[in-house]
Amino acid sequence: MSNGPLHGVRIVEFAGLGPTPFAAMTLADMGAEVIRIQRPGLKHLMGLKYDILDRGRSFVELDLKDADDIDTVKALLGSADALIEGMRPGVMERLGLGPDEVSALNPRLVYGRMTGWGQSGPLAHAAGHDINYIALSGALHAIGPRDTPVIPLNLIGDFGGGGMYMAYGIVCALFEATRSGLGQVVDTAITDGTAHLMSMIYAMQQGNAWEDRRESNILDGAAPFYGVYKCACGGHAAVGAIEPKFYAELLARIGADAELAKTQMDRSTWPAVREEFAAIFATKTRDAWSDLLLGTDSCYAPVLTIAEAYHAPHNTARGHFGKKGQIAEPAPTPKLSRTPGSVQDCSQSIPLNVKDVVQIWQEARKS
Q: Could you tell me the CATH number of the domain that includes residue 253?
A: 3.30.1540.10
Is 184 in the same domain as 96?
Answer: yes
Q: What is the pLDDT of residue 358?
A: 82
Total of domains in the chain: 2
pLDDT beneath 50, residues of the chain: none
Is 18 in the same domain as 122?
Answer: yes
CATH number at residue 350: 3.40.50.10540
Residue 160's CB is within 10 A of a number of other CB atoms, namely: 22
Q: What is the pLDDT of residue 346?
A: 59
Strands 321-324 and 327-330: antiparallel
Is 23 in the same domain as 155?
Answer: yes
| DSSP-derived secondary structure for 208-244 | TSS-SSSSSSTTTT-STTEEEEE-TTS-EEEEE--SH
Is 165 in the same domain as 29?
Answer: yes
Domain span at 255: 226-313
Is 307 in the same domain as 268?
Answer: yes
Is 126 in the same domain as 74?
Answer: yes
- Supply the residues annotated as catalytic: 129, 158
Q: Where are the alpha helices (DSSP H) in 138-229?
A: 165-180, 190-197, 199-206
Q: What is the pLDDT of residue 206?
A: 97
Is 192 in the same domain as 234?
Answer: no
Residue 251 is assigned to a structural domain of this protein: yes
| DSSP-derived secondary structure for 296-359 | STT-EEE---HHHHTT-HHHHHHT-EEEETTEEEEPPSSPPSSS---------SS---HHHHHH
- Model confidence pLDDT, tens digit, residues 281-340: 999 999 999 999 999 999 999 999 999 999 999 999 999 998 877 889 999 999 999 999
Helix, strand or coil for residue 142? helix
Residue 338 is assigned to a structural domain of this protein: yes
Residue 62 is assigned to a structural domain of this protein: yes
Residue 216 is assigned to a structural domain of this protein: no
| Straight-line distance from the first to the last Cα atom of the chain, in angstroms, rounded to the nearest whole number | 19
- Model confidence pLDDT, tens digit, residues 2-14: 689 999 999 999 9
R_g of the chain, CA atoms, integer Å: 24
CA distance 43 to 1: 28
Residue 250 is assigned to a structural domain of this protein: yes
Is 340 in the same domain as 306?
Answer: no
- Model confidence pLDDT, tens digit, residues 171-191: 999 999 999 999 999 999 999
Is 22 in the same domain as 129?
Answer: yes
